[in-house]
């Protein structure tokens, strides 16, 4: 049986032939036909409305530059360009890890070159994004622990105090969120942040998450960080600092849910000896 809200959008937006693609914590995703073209309909769950609103704001800003086009949206649904090719994880699995990293750098350059009158007000500042790390660090400090969260919070504070090249950010760039299309490699599912552009490269070096032995290889991490730094024209040491602080931020999100996230902390521990 067709869900009620799916039926509503099929009629309201003149769509047809819904084919389920995915279901996430925040949305149900369908491939649909619109005027004979295959596009994506994302129906938002209540938990995803606020998060996806920021993502829609970012997509409007990118306007198809390095990202899928946002074709139509309201508070409950998004209609998106369909990038139906493989994602970058497929390249990594074929042994083209460095090529995939270079593509990510190129996509980020496109996203960060997007411009307009004013950045949309719905975007989340990076300092707000890092709240969970600062909260965990404060708790550890009160307990007298100079934990990795405390050390990462100090690094994050230094980065956020003097931001460089502030841009509208995707906020969740990794190998699964970049797919090939007729227009080339395109990012999708942004979080919609604003802050220093190097942050957008940090999550990449903690991924692909399904290949932990590859990701937690120190030589591989440093090599790919160098590729991204060169591709993006950014400071290598500053990129490593963002990777370190982001990895601990990611682990702190799991801590809030009562889980220990060894994968991200493993990446952070690889990076820490290389910080200035």
**Boundary residue ending a domain (17, 50, 81):** 81
Are residue 99 and residue 198 in the same domain, yes or no? yes
Catalytic residue among 172, 189, 235, 262: 172
Are residue 131 and residue 256 in the same domain, yes or no? yes
Q: What are the two backbone dihedrals, phi and then psi, of residue 73, each rounded to the nearest 5 degrees? A: -160, 160
For 179-207, letters b (16+ CB in 10 Å) and e give bbeeeebbbbbbbbbbbbbbbbbbbbbbb
Distance CA(232)–CA(256), nearest Å, equals 33
Q: What is the dihedral of CA 200, 75, 30, 52, to 10 degrees?
A: 20
What domain count does the chain have? Answer: 2
Are residue 229 and residue 153 in the same domain, yes or no? yes
Mean pLDDT computed over 200-221: 94
pLDDT tens for 128-177 read: 999 999 999 999 999 999 999 999 999 999 999 999 999 999 999 999 99
Are residue 110 and residue 52 in the same domain, yes or no? no
Complete DSSP assignment for 27-44? EEEEEEEETTEEEEEEEE
Are residue 42 and residue 119 in the same domain, yes or no? no
Are residue 114 and residue 233 in the same domain, yes or no? yes
Complete DSSP assignment for 54-84? HHHHHHHHHTTSSB--EEEE-SSEEEEE---
Q: Is 1 a residue whose pLDDT tops 70?
A: no
**Residue-level pLDDT at 79:** 98
Q: Is 107 a residue whose pLDDT tops 80?
A: yes
What single DSSP character describes residue 143?
T
**Boundary residue ending a domain (26, 47, 81):** 81
pLDDT tens for 29-53 read: 999 999 999 999 999 998 878 788 9
Distance CA(132)–CA(141), nearest Å, equals 14
Are residue 37 and residue 163 in the same domain, yes or no? no
Q: Which of 245, 211, 209, 243 has the alpha carbon at shortest distance from 224?
A: 243
Burial class (CB in 10 A: 0-12, 13-18, 19+), 112: buried
Are residue 12 and residue 108 in the same domain, yes or no? no
Are residue 156 and residue 21 in the same domain, yes or no? no
60: CB partners within 8 A, 6+ apart:
70, 120
Spatial contact of 223 and 205, defined as CB atoms under 8 Å apart: no
pLDDT tens for 242-273 read: 999 999 999 999 988 887 778 999 999 999 99
CATH number of 128's domain: 3.90.1200.10
**Residue-level pLDDT at 49:** 81
Are residue 72 and residue 123 in the same domain, yes or no? no
Helix 236-256 vs helix 131-142: crossing angle, to nearest 10: 70
Distance CA(113)–CA(139), nearest Å, equals 39
Q: Is 235 a catalytic residue?
A: no
Q: Where are the beta strands (DSSP E) in the chain?
A: 16-23, 27-34, 37-44, 70-73, 77-81, 124-125, 166-169, 178-181, 184-187, 193-196
Q: Is 115 a residue whose pLDDT tops 50?
A: yes
**Residue-level pLDDT at 2:** 57
CATH number of 37's domain: 3.30.200.20
Are residue 255 and residue 118 in the same domain, yes or no? yes
**Boundary residue ending a domain (81, 105, 140):** 81
Quote the domain boundaries for residue 246.
Answer: 90-274
Q: Which of 239, 256, 271 has the alpha carbon at shortest distance from 108?
A: 239
Are residue 190 and residue 242 in the same domain, yes or no? yes
Provide the mean pLDDT of the chain: 94
């Amino acid at each position: 049986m067709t869900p009620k809200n799916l039926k509503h959008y099929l009629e309201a937006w003149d769509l047809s032939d819904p084919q389920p693609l995915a279901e996430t914590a925040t949305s149900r995703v369908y491939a649909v036909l619109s005027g004979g073209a295959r596009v994506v309909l994302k129906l938002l769950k209540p938990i995803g409305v606020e998060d996806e609103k920021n993502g829609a704001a970012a997509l409007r800003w990118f306007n198809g530059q390095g990202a899928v086009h946002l074709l139509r949206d309201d508070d409950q649904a998004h209609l998106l360009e369909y990038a139906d090719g493989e994602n970058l994880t497929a390249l990594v699995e074929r042994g083209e890890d460095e090529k995939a990293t270079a593509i990510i750098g190129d996509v980020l350059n496109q996203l960060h070159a997007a411009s307009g009158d004013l950045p949309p007000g719905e975007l989340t500042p990076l300092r707000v994004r890092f709240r969970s790390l600062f909260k965990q660090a404060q708790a550890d400090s009160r307990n007298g622990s100079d934990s990795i969260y405390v050390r990462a919070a100090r690094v994050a504070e230094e980065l956020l105090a003097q931001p460089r090249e502030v841009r509208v950010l995707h906020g969740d760039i990794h190998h699964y969120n970049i797919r090939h299309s007729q227009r080339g490699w395109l990012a999708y599912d942004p979080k919609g942040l604003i802050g220093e552009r190097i942050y957008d490269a940090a999550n990449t070096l903690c991924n692909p998450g399904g290949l932990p032995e590859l990701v937690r290889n120190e030589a591989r991490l440093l090599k790919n960080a160098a590729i991204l730094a060169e591709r993006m024209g950014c400071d290598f040491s500053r990129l490593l600092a963002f990777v370190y602080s982001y990895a601990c931020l990611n682990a702190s999100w799991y801590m809030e849910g009562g889980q220990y996230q060894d994968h991200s902390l493993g990446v952070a521990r690889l990076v820490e000896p290389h910080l200035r």
